[in-house]
Chain A
Amino acid sequence: QQQVKQSPQSLIVQKGGISIINCAYENTAFDYFPWYQQFPGKGPALLIAIRPDVSEKKEGRFTISFNKSAKQFSLHIMDSQPGDSATYFCAAKRSGGSNYKLTFGKGTLLTVNP
């Protein structure tokens, strides 16, 4: 059972455009929602993260929008650049416990054309 659904699977955007990746979750016990960026042959790197008490978080060209009632969150990449071409994963962590396990979406392959 997939607890975090990510869409689209792949996305092609022109340089300078806006890239939008969406994730939906089912478990209301999730309390931490990170986005990871992964380049081919590398490990994923944390890009930006948000908690459910905040509706939006912005870091440079990257913004997370969070809709708690809809149980959805999205990543917006403004002024997308060819260097942003990578696979993006959303994830969610359940509150409580000491294992800090993350549940990941299946990933979105972003291609930014020059």
Chain B
Amino acid sequence: SQTIHQWPATLVQPVGSPLSLECTVEGTSNPNLYWYRQAAGRGLQLLFYSVGIGQISSEVPQNLSASRPQDRQFILSSKKLLLSDSGFYLCAWTAYTDTQYFGPGTRLTVL
């Protein structure tokens, strides 16, 4: 069966510090991968998606970037965090179906 992992689960970072969030999927190959951000009490904002290794599409211009160094690994990064980067970051995957499956999320607080 397929499993999606995200780490860390929680993170507290100072403004101006770098960021690296990781997402990995097990049990499938060549998945589409997605990064979403959810502000407190708000909806899901698609940040990036990838249909293959090294292929990244950005949905919203911002302080973040994404990379896909391996087939089942998706990384969200920032060189300098802003207060507005705080939120709940969710990774999701799909593999040749319409259904997206979400990971457990990373709670990021920027102070």
A residues near B (Cβ < 8 Å) are 32, 34, 36, 41-46, 49, 89, 93, 98-102, 104-107, 109
Contacts and interface: CB of A to CB of B under 8 A. Distances in A.
Contacts of A102: 46, 100
B100 to A, nearest CB: 6
A104 B36 CA distance: 11
Contacts of A93: 98
Closest 3 CB pairs of A and B: A43-B102, A106-B43, A32-B98
A107 B97 CA distance: 23
Contacts of B100: 34, 46, 100, 102
B10 to A, nearest CB: 10
A107 B40 CA distance: 12
B44 to A, nearest CB: 5
A45 B99 CA distance: 10
Contacts of B51: 98-99
B90 A44 contact: yes
B98 A105 contact: no
B31 to A, nearest CB: 10
A46 B105 contact: no
Contacts of A36: 102
A7 to B, nearest CB: 13
Contact of A100 (B98, B102, B103): B98
B44 A89 contact: yes
Nearest to B105: A43
Nearest to B103: A43
B102 A49 contact: no
B43 A42 contact: no
A99 B57 contact: yes
A89 B43 contact: yes
Which of A89, A100, A101, A104 has the most CB atoms of chain B within a 10 A radius of its CB?
A: A100
